[in-house]
Amino acid sequence: METSDSVTAAGSAIGSSPALRRLSLADRARLNGHVPAVLWFTGLSGSGKSTLANALEVRLHQQYAAHTFLLDGDVVRTGLNKDLGFSPEARTENIRRIGEVARLFYEAGLITLVAFISPFRADRDRVRALFPPGGFFEIYVNCPLEVCEQRDPKRLYQRARAGEVAAFTGIDSPYEPPRRPELTLDTAGTTPEACVGQALALLVQAGLFKA
Amino acid sequence: METSDSVTAAGSAIGSSPALRRLSLADRARLNGHVPAVLWFTGLSGSGKSTLANALEVRLHQQYAAHTFLLDGDVVRTGLNKDLGFSPEARTENIRRIGEVARLFYEAGLITLVAFISPFRADRDRVRALFPPGGFFEIYVNCPLEVCEQRDPKRLYQRARAGEVAAFTGIDSPYEPPRRPELTLDTAGTTPEACVGQALALLVQAGLFKA
């Protein structure tokens, strides 16, 4: 058996530079009951990225017993990327690191939900290139700026308009919408429940749970 | 039910800044059948860290159906940390990021094996502080320098002695052994199989699989 061989190979070979057999993606998919994927939610502040990603993660956990993780500003900006600010260079490095972390979670076999404004197309495309075809789903959380600004859950638009926050996406820093996202969710005209349903349908259709 | 409530709370609240209920560590432990942990292998180059971590990961997968991941130089230095060199500052940043990534994997519910020389005690202690008591296992892979240098699987000692690799741990850069590791494995006098057995016994005794 493949994995039995690995134990033997690894166990008998300290210091002799063996070609170590690691657990494969297939081993992990068998254990999890699904293949890995990265679901990348991009959109303006207040568009609903984190809310939808969180609701989708809970559904994946409850309904599919899927092995998941959610990466967003709350968990990344306070830890791994706490050394980074909000200059264009720092934003690019922020997204680069998040992409690399998502790749590690992908290799670990998880369905990883990522919710970041990630305003620059080039940054998102560099992340996409880390994954095999079918492994990366760009989900555009589309919502008019006026609606986002009216919601303003963190009072960030208010502060940006008052000049207290510089280079705020949608106000004085650009947002570049995806050209060919795997899915677009219109959160101004669709209920959150329906948005989550659309995302789930996409994942089922893509064959994630056929492993 | 706790998680049903989360769906409702998340689903009905875009933009209204709700205190979103996320999946908890307990939710993930129920799904996985074990609690998370970080197993941090530290020791000289050639001491056997990656070999043992890999063999242990395969055993955890096969025998306990555990949800695991292995972080080592092969996966981290080529991706997330490819911007870092080997100066003392870069080594400290390397270990800081790896510690933060291990924390994300911990929060995702996995048993994460980390294999890095990680020569500086202060760097390792900062990582330890990221985890709750009982969540972090420092495993000292203890092996005399002479034995490591004789094994020299990657010909790194040879190159260090020839002056081709600067600041090489054990040659011209210090290694600070752990003062109170959770486990010490003496790879010069113990078979790899026995070392893996000792590590497994520690994890079982610690109650990882009672979840």
DSSP string, B149-166: HHH-TTSHHHHHHTTSSS
* Boundaries of domain holding B130: 25-210
In the stretch 40-99 of chain A, residues with CB closer than 8 A to chain B read 46, 48, 50-52, 54-55, 57-59, 61-62, 65, 67-71, 75-76, 79-80, 97
Handedness of CA A31, A34, A37, A40 (dihedral sign): negative
Q: What is the pLDDT of residue A11?
A: 38
- What are B191's two structure tokens? 């078979």
Q: Is residue A18 part of a domain?
A: no
Find the CATH number of the domain harbouring A110.
Answer: 3.40.50.300
Given a cut of 60, is residue A162 above it in pLDDT?
A: yes
How far A75 CA lies from chain B's nearest CA (Å)? Answer: 8
Given a cut of 80, is residue A4 above it in pLDDT?
A: no
Q: What is the pLDDT of residue B169?
A: 93
Q: Which residues are within 8 A (CB) of A99 and not within 5 positions of it... i.e. 6 or more apart? A: A126, A127, A130
Identity (one letter) of the amino acid at B65? A
| Residues of chain A contacting residue B75, judged by C-beta atoms under 8 Å apart | 104, 107
A118 labelled catalytic:
yes
Substitution target from B45, B58, B146 for chain A, most A beta carbons within 10 A: B58
Query: What mean pLDDT is reported for chain A?
Result: 89
The residue annotated as part of the active site, out of A6, A87, A118, A173, is A118
From B55, B108, B148, residue closest to A69, measured CB to CB = B108
Identity (one letter) of the amino acid at A86? F
The residue among A202, A134, A209, A165 whose CA lies nearest residue A45 is A165
Q: What is the pLDDT of residue A211?
A: 52
Query: Contact at 8 Å (CB) between B42 and B124?
Result: yes
Which residue of chain B is at minimal alpha-carbon distance from A105? B105
Q: Is residue A142 part of a domain?
A: yes
Q: Is residue A2 part of a domain?
A: no
- What is the CB-side half-sphere exposure of residue A194 using CA atoms within 13 A? 8
Substitution target from A1, A58, A97, A198 for chain B, most B beta carbons within 10 A: A58
| Residues of chain A contacting residue B193, judged by C-beta atoms under 8 Å apart | 11
- B136: helix, coil or strand? strand
pLDDT class of A5 with cuts at 50, 70, 90: very low
Number of domains forming the structure of chain A: 1
Q: What is the pLDDT of residue B20?
A: 53
Cβ of residue B107 closer than 8 Å to a chain A Cβ: yes
What average pLDDT does range A56-65 have in this prediction? 96
Q: Is the ipTM of this complex over 0.85?
A: yes
Q: How far from chain centre, in Å, is Cα A23?
A: 23
Q: Is residue A40 part of a domain?
A: yes
Task: Between A115 and A211, name the one with better pLDDT.
Answer: A115
For A84, A98, A105, A179, B139, the CA distances from A38, given in Å and listed in that order, are 23, 11, 9, 18, 32
Q: Is residue B65 part of a domain?
A: yes
Residue-wise pLDDT for A95-115, tens only, equals 999 999 999 999 999 999 999
Q: Return d(Cα A40, Cα A137) in angstroms, integer.
A: 6
Cβ of residue A22 closer than 8 Å to a chain B Cβ: yes
Could B14 and A187 be called an inter-chain contact, meaning their C-beta atoms sit closer than 8 Å?
yes
Given a cut of 70, is residue A171 above it in pLDDT?
A: yes
| Residues of chain B contacting residue A49, judged by C-beta atoms under 8 Å apart | none
Q: Is residue A70 part of a domain?
A: yes
The model's pTM is: 0.90
The residue annotated as part of the active site, out of B4, B6, B118, B173, is B118
Q: What is the pLDDT of residue B165?
A: 87
Q: What is the pLDDT of residue A87?
A: 83
Q: Is residue A6 part of a domain?
A: no
Cβ of residue A29 closer than 8 Å to a chain B Cβ: no
Q: Is residue A3 part of a domain?
A: no
What average pLDDT does range A110-135 have in this prediction? 96
Q: What is the pLDDT along chain B (211 residues), one digit of tens a residue?
A: 233 333 333 334 454 444 457 899 999 999 999 999 999 999 999 999 999 999 999 999 999 999 999 999 878 888 999 999 888 888 899 999 999 999 999 999 999 999 999 999 999 999 999 999 999 999 999 999 999 999 998 899 999 999 998 889 999 999 999 999 999 999 999 999 999 999 999 999 999 998 5
Q: Return d(Cα A176, Cα A119) in angstroms, integer.
A: 6
- B141: helix, coil or strand? strand
From B4, B13, B51, residue closest to A10, measured CB to CB = B51
